[in-house]
Structure 1
Amino acid sequence: MKIIFKIARAELRHLFYSPIAWVVIVLFFVITGMGFVSSLKELARIQEVSMENSAGFEGFFDGLTLKLFMSSIGNALSYFYLFIPLLTMGTISREHNTGTMKLLFSSPLRVRELVLGKYFGLLVFNFILLCSIGLLLLTGALSIKDADYPIYLSSLLGFFLLSNTYLAIGMFISSLTQYQIMAGIITYLVFAILGMADKFGQQYDLVRDLTYFLSLSGRVDFMILGLITSRNVCYYLLIIAMFIGFTMIKLRSLQESKKWTVSFTRYSVLSAIILFAGYFTSRPGAVAYWDVTRHNDNTIDSTTQAVLRELDGSPVTVTLYTNLLDKKVREGLPENRNKYLWGFWENYLRFYPNMKFRFEYYYKLDDNSFFKEMYPGRTVEQMVDLQVRTHGLKRSLFQSRQEIEKKIDLSDEPAKLLMELEYKGRKTILRTFTDNRNIWPTQMNVAGAIRKLVRDSIPRIVFSTGHFERSPWKYGEREYAMHTAYKEAGKALVNTGVKVDSISLMEKVPLPGSDVLVIADPKSALSAIEQERVMDFLNRGGNALLYAEPGKQEILNPLLNRIGVNIEPGVLMNFNINTSPVDVRNELNTAGNAMAREEEMQRHFLKKKRSAAGLFNSAAELSWKEIDGFTITPVSVFEGNQKVWRENGYLGLDSALATFSDAEGDVMKDGYPMALKLSRTVNGKEQRIVVAGDADFMSLKNHSGFTIGVGFYSWLMNNEYPVYRTVHFKTDKFLTIGRKTGNLLWNVYVYILPAILLLTGLILVIRRSRK
């Protein structure tokens, strides 16, 4: 060990007396410092201006811990590999050029001591080099109020492992040639190849897994985001061990006069051991995870984890069906399979590793497919041939529509990328969505699909028909399909584990239990039989949602009056010269926000200034009287003032400005309830009913509930569906410095400290040359 330390010290001394090493230190510090301080200075300027112009400035939307470093540290990563060859190109080749290698071989020094000593010397120098990044992270920690400190340590660990991997590779390349410049050039090429390794041969299973393991790109990104995994740490350690081992094998081959097959065998055995170890350290169930972020931002939510625990350990088979005639086909092709498995499913494999993956490829043309415009006049088979050539695929990989439908019924599914989950004989569809920035399903979608597999009873949202109600199947601006049954919308109920159905009240009514009856703005009166059937459903404890509209009070009042609710005559007015007076944007009150876990509802309790809101058009006021054991609570009350009233007279929106008229029976109050929740106990079970004085706020035109979302439906399903994620407020939203401090830091990191480093290097190099 003493010999290793002596060699490390000699290597470190050589580096510090080398002009190239000091150039690397200064350039790296200046470039990273400029990237960091420019971001810091700009954020300080924005915060100062915002606070000067807005007393209610609530800080930056995203947490500053990551916001400040993602751009600057990301840029540092993109050019970091450029500096390493300058340090390693002479590590071994220098000994050949100076003739000291023969002396070293003739001494009792062992090859492993020589290699480890030189590598440890490089490692110490690398640690000093990375202190510049540590200094920047420390500055950021002191400049951000309530910074998420563990992320800094995770980022430094990632940089340290990556740079040490670069050093091991560079040292091995240096042992292959006596020419330092050649060693540097080859090292650049190897880094480039390893950085792009996962782009080659991805259509072949064996090649894809091998190149994915060897690829250097992307692994450190997880650590910068605050997620440390044993898979990535082991990867770097194994690659380091492999190239240090390669260096030892190379130097030993120079000492020995043996056939090349001996060295080749050693390389092969070591490579096999490393690949074998890498395979087993990356298997699901063998990977350890440490999410160091304050709110576990890199981990699926505890609610999703609870859903996964409903599985009993039996295998879940996931089959990805990729349609060649889909705009997003590339995401499902073999070239992106590792991205699909490790980028999407790893989050769930972490908590349920017993998942098996299968892949099916087919072609099916939708009636509204853009391929018809892209390839006008072409047959489906001709389109397939063109797509196959475009993506460089085999034609035999893809099954026809008839062949694939022998395996799965896709007749009611959009011809897009989708997955089928199978568990203990049950199957369900998990869809992808083009309306998301990331096409893959969200945690809410995955949790809903899994509950379909494990639960015997799935809730149904049942819409009444026969009176021209709002439809869960239509996509018009007044209709409800977008938030109920539209399969291509990620937040639609049908994609969160809920069944959507419709029913004629003249034929039957849904059964109380998991079913929720929805009567959405009927245009004609319900018959006596239909009213009795609805009341029978309610009297037996069924949950219901009733959407009313002003001008049609007489349609639902006969039914609502029997549960203590009345739709008042007239329409709510909100005088505003810029908008229609019947347009009302209203927030839920505290009781309304407590109904579900929609994002804005959660935010209300984290920060009282926020609240879920809906965009109401022509809303009616509701009144109530508690009868038959019901507890009735308003959940959306429009606050009254001199510009708000209930209009009971003639309303001509296209002729003149609406005005309050006492003579016409207009009513002005302090508040106007627009939505109510009702509850009571029936047969030992809580019954829940929601009545809304407007149906437009859930329409496509009004953004399907806006930030209320499907919160009312969730409450009616006892908040078991959808499975919402927990919302956390970022606390690192303010800087502790202003513009002046930002400018001072710029001068320190870009001019003063680099000048000190440069001067120190010059003094050392000059003194060394004089000696």
Structure 2
Amino acid sequence: MKTIFRIAKTELRTLFYSPIAWFLMIVFLIQCGATYLGVMEAIARDQDAGGKFFGSVGEFVFLSNRGVLGGVMRNLYLYIPLLTMGLISRETSSGTIKLLYTSPIRVREIVFGKFLAMMIYSLLLVMIFGIFVTSSMFQIKSPDTGMLFSAMLGLYLLLCAYSAIGLFMSCLTTYQVVAAVCTFVMIGLLSYVGTLWQDIAFVRNLTYFLSISGRTGNMLLGLITSKDVIYFLAIVYLFLGLSIYKLKAGMESKPAIVKTGRYAFVIVSTLAVGYFSSIPSMVGYYDASRGKQRTLTPNAQKIIRELGDAPLEVTAYNNLLGRHWDLGSPDSYNRNLGRWEPYTRFKHNIELKTVLYYDSSYENPGMYRYYQGKTLDQIAKQYADSRDLSMDQFKTPAEMRKVINLKPELNRYVMQLKYKGKTTFLRVFDDNQEWPGETEVSAAFKRLLQAKMPKIVFLTGHLERSINKLGDREYKVLTNLTTFRNSLLNQGFDVDTLSLESQDIPTDISALVLADPKVAITTAGMEKLQRYVNNGGNLLVAGEPGKQAILNPFLRQLGVQLMDGILVQTSKDLQPELITPYLTATVASFYPALAHSHHDSAMASMPRATALSYSDTGAFTIKPLLVTDIRNCWLKKDNLVTDSAEVVFLPERGDERKSFATAVSLTRKINNKEQRIIVTGDADFMGNAELQRFNLRAANFVFNTALFSWLSYGEFPIDSTRPKPEDTAVLLTKDQVKFLRIIYLWVLPGILLAFGAILLIRRKRK
């Protein structure tokens, strides 16, 4: 061991008696400092201007693409080869390697000593990075120190892996420049190898293990896993072992088969360690982030525990002609393993399968127009050829229909979960995220565990809004559109329709919805509705301007009335009948996602709404959920004409200006439970058009989800919210950042430069 330390000490002297080591440290310091201060200054300027940072400042400063580690990781491979290129090649080219061979020093001591020197130098680079981590403790409000120290560990392990690679490359040639170039190539190869041969099951597991790309990703975010740590240790073992046997080969006369066997042993043992360390049941996890941000929420963990030890089979059906083909293509297997890793961490026997097929794509009805004269088989063959795929990999439409009917799922990428004989679908969505989140996955798991899900029933028979149509004013997006993440179906609810005229209202439903009836409800139907309310059933009633006469007789017993007239709101961009009332603190308490967001400024969009009047003196406790802004909204009593002149407030014609409620909640205790009712002065806020309106700050889909969560007593959606980040501000002004720029970019590099220059000059004089 003493010999190893002596060799490391000698190597460090050689390293620091050359300008390259000092130069790289200074460049590394300036790069980290410039990036750190640039991001901090941007946030400080926003704060000085009165702005607020929504999110984690620490993550943004260190982990974003603009952050310190984002820049360092992109350029880190440039540093180490310049240091390692002479570790062995310098000894070989100068002839001193022969003296080492004839000395009593063992080859492994030479290799370990030189690698130890690089470990110490890598530690110095991490300490330079640590200057800014330490600074952030005083310059960022409540930084997530666990995440930052985990990121430092990831940085150090990556530097050590690069050093081992560079050491081996230095053994292969006497030319230092060639060794540096070979190190660049090997690092690039290890970054790329994870994308090779992904369509071969056995090979892709090995190449994915060897890939260094993304290996530090978890640690940078605060999640330390045993397989990632073992990976870096295995890479160090691999290249140090190859280095030892390469040097031994130069001083021993052994048969080629012996030399080859040594290399094979090192490689095979590395791959074996990687294989076993990646088995889900063998992986250990430590979440160093504050609030366990990189771990499933307690609700999700509870549901997984309820699944017990029974296996869970996940079969992905992937259509070659579907728009989400890439999510289930052969080369996406390991990416999908990563997507499922948060769940396999707690349930090891989740088995992933993929079935490839081709069939008509209902998302591309014009497909045949672009391939005129071709059959479906010919189109699929052309697609497969363009992707270098064999048609033998795909099931035909006829073969697929014998397995499963995916027409209701639009023949798109979908996962079928199977557990104890029960099955359910887990879908991907047409949004930026695409993949189902923790809420949707937990809901699917819950479907496998529960015999009955909360059911929302929509009344029909009086020209109410339809849950099966995609018109602007209908409700398919809200209820059962499979491609929409926030539809009730994907959030864990069952939806159905019911006619009051021909059916009785079930007693076991979660809530009943009466949305904009356009004709009067018959006496028999009203009696059924009245009986349901009297028995304590939960209800949502959505009215519209001009329909007051239809709903007010029923609402009178609840203490709520739709007021005469229509609400108008002045806006330079939007039509006056589109109002945007604010969400109240009451509705924010309905749904954790709202409680954790900035609900005080959130709005809903309501086209053609009327105000609600209510009296909180009856059996129900009534609270407003949406309220208008008195500054730009009023209730217009006469006809609204928007195509001729600007709409103005006319009190002489009965117009009223005040803060109106457009949605209210009603509660009372009955039959040993809390009855919950919601009344709104608009039915379009649940419509397809408003749920997909992105030109406003309107959050209709979150508001709707909150309402149905409250009506089902919070059973669904599964709460997957996490604590808000605490590091939401920097404790610096832009002027203070300018002062720090002098310290970090001039003083500290200057000190390093002066110290290095003095050392080199004294060395030269000696």
Q: 1:91 to 1:662 in 2, by over 3 A?
A: closer
Give the distance between the partners of 1:723 and 1:263, measured in 2 at CA. Answer: 59
> Paired residue for 2:606?
616
Shift of 1:728: 3.3
Q: Which amino acid aligns with 2:687?
A: S
Q: 1:438 to 1:576 in 2, by over 3 A?
A: closer
In the TM superposition, what whole-angstrom CA distance separates every residue of 1:151-194 from its partner, at most 9, and x where no partner exists?
22111111100010011111122222233222222111111100
> Paired residue for 2:638?
649
Q: 1:631 to 1:37 in 2, by over 3 A?
A: closer
1:689 to 677, 690, 696: 677
2:108 to 85, 105, 112: 112
Tell me if structure 2 keeps the 8 A contact 1:589–1:611: no
> Paired residue for 1:600?
594
> Paired residue for 1:698?
686
Give the distance between the partners of 1:22 and 1:375, measured in 2 at CA. Answer: 63
Shift of 1:543: 1.8
Q: 1:747 to 1:307 in 2, by over 3 A?
A: same
Question: Partner of 1:438: helix, strand, or coil?
Answer: coil
> Paired residue for 2:315?
319
Q: Which amino acid aligns with 1:328?
A: H
Q: Aligned ranges for residues 23-34 of structure 1 at < 5 Å? A: 23-34=23-34
Q: 1:735 to 1:631 in 2, by over 3 A?
A: closer
> Paired residue for 2:745?
750
Q: Which amino acid aligns with 1:631?
A: T
Q: 1:113 to 1:573 in 2, by over 3 A?
A: same
Give the distance between the partners of 2:582 and 2:97, measured in 1 at CA. Answer: 78
Shift of 1:425: 0.4
| 2:220 matches 1:254 | no
> Paired residue for 2:56?
63
Shift of 1:217: 0.6
> Paired residue for 1:89?
85
Shift of 1:630: 3.7
Tell me if structure 1 keeps the 8 A contact 2:30–2:744: yes
Q: Which amino acid aligns with 2:610?
A: A
Tell me if structure 1 keeps the 8 A contact 2:486–2:701: no
1:526 to 521, 530, 544: 521
Question: Partner of 2:660: helix, strand, or coil?
Answer: strand
| 2:585 matches 1:590 | yes
1:239 to 223, 235, 257: 235
| 2:186 matches 1:190 | yes
Identity %: 37
Q: 1:569 to 1:754 in 2, by over 3 A?
A: same
| 2:523 matches 1:513 | no
Give the distance between the partners of 1:124 and 1:577, measured in 2 at CA. Answer: 64
| 2:27 matches 1:42 | no
Tell me if structure 2 keeps the 8 A contact 1:26–1:757: yes
Shift of 1:327: 2.4
| 2:72 matches 1:76 | yes
Tell me if structure 1 keeps the 8 A contact 2:323–2:363: no
> Paired residue for 1:722?
717
In the TM superposition, what whole-angstrom CA distance separates every residue of 1:688-714 from its partner, at most 9, and x where no partner exists?
221112112222332362541321111
2:332 to 318, 332, 336: 336
Tell me if structure 2 keeps the 8 A contact 1:595–1:715: yes
> Paired residue for 2:442?
447
> Paired residue for 1:54?
none
Shift of 1:25: 2.3
The answer to which of 207-216 and 716-725 deviates more is 716-725
Q: Which amino acid aligns with 1:484?
A: T
1:497 to 487, 492, 495: 492
Give the distance between the partners of 1:553 and 1:295, measured in 2 at CA. Answer: 49
Q: Which amino acid aligns with 2:508?
A: G
In the TM superposition, what whole-angstrom CA distance separates every residue of 1:318-376 from its partner, at most 9, and x where no partner exists?
0011111122212211111101111x111111222221111100112224416446545
Give the distance between the partners of 1:138 and 1:400, measured in 2 at CA. Answer: 60
Q: Which amino acid aligns with 2:333?
A: R
Question: Partner of 2:674: helix, strand, or coil?
Answer: strand
Question: Partner of 2:474: helix, strand, or coil?
Answer: coil
Give the distance between the partners of 1:601 and 1:27, measured in 2 at CA. Answer: 46
Give the distance between the partners of 1:373 and 1:233, measured in 2 at CA. Answer: 53
Shift of 1:539: 2.9
Tell me if structure 1 keeps the 8 A contact 2:319–2:359: yes
What is the aligned length?
A: 755
Shift of 1:89: 1.6
Shift of 1:611: 5.1
Shift of 1:576: 5.6
Question: Partner of 2:688: helix, strand, or coil?
Answer: coil
Give the distance between the partners of 1:91 and 1:381, measured in 2 at CA. Answer: 60
Structure 2: gaps of 5 or more residues: 693-699
Give the distance between the partners of 1:645 and 1:27, measured in 2 at CA. Answer: 63
Shift of 1:267: 2.1
Tell me if structure 1 keeps the 8 A contact 2:43–2:53: no
Give the distance between the partners of 1:424 and 1:399, measured in 2 at CA. Answer: 26
Give the distance between the partners of 2:731 and 2:346, measured in 1 at CA. Answer: 39
Question: Partner of 1:358: helix, strand, or coil?
Answer: strand
Question: Partner of 1:731: helix, strand, or coil?
Answer: coil
In the TM superposition, what whole-angstrom CA distance separates every residue of 1:137-158 from its partner, at most 9, and x where no partner exists?
3333332222222222111111
* TM-score (ref. length: structure 1): 0.93
| 2:411 matches 1:420 | no
Tell me if structure 2 keeps the 8 A contact 1:567–1:693: yes
Q: Aligned ranges for residues 560-579 of structure 1 at < 5 Å? A: 560-574=555-569, 579=574
Q: 1:101 to 1:657 in 2, by over 3 A?
A: closer
* TM-score (ref. length: structure 2): 0.93
When the two chains are superposed, the root-mean-square deviation of aligned CA atoms in Å is 2.4
| 2:734 matches 1:739 | yes
Tell me if structure 1 keeps the 8 A contact 2:456–2:493: yes
Shift of 1:718: 1.0
Q: 1:724 to 1:120 in 2, by over 3 A?
A: same
In the TM superposition, what whole-angstrom CA distance separates every residue of 1:29-71 from its partner, at most 9, and x where no partner exists?
33333333333333333333x23xxxxx3x2123211111232
Tell me if structure 2 keeps the 8 A contact 1:516–1:542: yes
> Paired residue for 2:697?
none
| 2:116 matches 1:126 | no
Give the distance between the partners of 1:229 and 1:652, measured in 2 at CA. Answer: 64
> Paired residue for 1:282?
278
Tell me if structure 2 keeps the 8 A contact 1:601–1:708: no
Question: Partner of 1:636: helix, strand, or coil?
Answer: strand
Question: Partner of 1:710: helix, strand, or coil?
Answer: helix
Give the distance between the partners of 2:555 and 2:73, measured in 1 at CA. Answer: 64
In the TM superposition, what whole-angstrom CA distance separates every residue of 1:563-590 from its partner, at most 9, and x where no partner exists?
4433233333445676544332112322
> Paired residue for 1:635?
625
Q: 1:470 to 1:225 in 2, by over 3 A?
A: same
| 2:162 matches 1:166 | yes
Q: 1:374 to 1:735 in 2, by over 3 A?
A: farther
Q: 1:692 to 1:116 in 2, by over 3 A?
A: same
In the TM superposition, what whole-angstrom CA distance separates every residue of 1:579-638 from its partner, at most 9, and x where no partner exists?
5443321123222222223x334335xxxx725432123323334457985433333344
Tell me if structure 2 keeps the 8 A contact 1:603–1:727: no
The answer to which of 372-381 and 548-557 deviates more is 372-381
Give the distance between the partners of 1:751 and 1:321, measured in 2 at CA. Answer: 58
